[in-house]
Chains A and B, each alone.
Chain A
Amino acid sequence: VQLVESGGGLVQPGRSMRLSCAASGFTFRNYGMHWVRQAPGKGLEWVAVIWSDGNKKYGSNEYYTDSVTGRFTISRDNSKNTLFLQMTSLRAEDTAIYYCARDLDHWELDSWGQGTLVTVSS
């Protein structure tokens, strides 16, 4: 299993950014996928999940933590084995390393990428 994030960098407050996570070594379409972030020197914070098409556990395919609901959108392209996180209206408090992670079955984040740093600053 390999997960490689990209797309991070410096962005001004209020602007948008899209992160990608390229997956390999497993059948991507069969697994739910998460985004988790970690602000500099801080703990882990769950951001969002997108389930596999055949495993909509709770009635919807995507869920978000409260602080990003309405601003972030998680999506996936199973034909390209890629996970995305579209981030809009970015705030300073969104500054963090963003990790993608695979869901083993139900809320077990069993494989993680190396992360991509997003810095929101003017």
Chain B
Amino acid sequence: QSALTQPDSVSGSPGQSITISCTGTARDVGGYNFVSWHQQHPGEAPKLIIYDVSDRPSGVSNRFSGSKSGNTASLTISGLQAEDEAEYYCSSYTSRSTLYVFGTGTTVTVL
């Protein structure tokens, strides 16, 4: 399956803002608003932090925000904290036969 493209790594200092991109096609990210973002700490299960492009589940910090422009979705983490160090995955519904696809994953490092 064709995974969505994310940068391998993004880093920032505490308090800064960082943005992770997620590039797909018109058959997935660009064509539907079923884009989610998941956070995964080492050895743990993924956790949903953004769904439907920009909605936050209850209990998720408002420092996490999502957006989309064309075929690229973005996750912004503002006020970066040490606890934000994790792997982040975007995902989207796709009109391809596989139906649902994850991004390649981005490692966030807090300097």
Q: How far is the CA of A112 from the CA of B45 in the complex (A)?
A: 7
Residue of B nearest to A115 (CB): B45
Nearest residue in A to B97 (C-beta to C-beta)?
A: A66
Distance A111 CA – B60 CA, assembled complex (angstroms): 13
Say if the beta carbon of A22 comes within 8 Å of chain B.
Answer: no
- Whether, in the assembled complex, B72 has its beta carbon less than 8 Å from a beta carbon of chain A, the answer is no
A65 on the B face (CB < 8 A): yes
Which of B1, B57, B102, B104 interacts with A110 by CB under 8 Å? B57
For residues 104 through 121 of chain A, which have their beta carbon under 8 Å from a beta carbon of chain B?
104, 106-115
Chain B residues with Cβ below 8 Å from A112 are 45-48
Please give the distance in Å from B100's CB to the nearest CB on chain A: 4
- B interface residues, Cβ below 8 angstroms from A: 1, 3, 34, 36, 38, 40, 44-48, 51-52, 57, 89, 91-93, 97-105
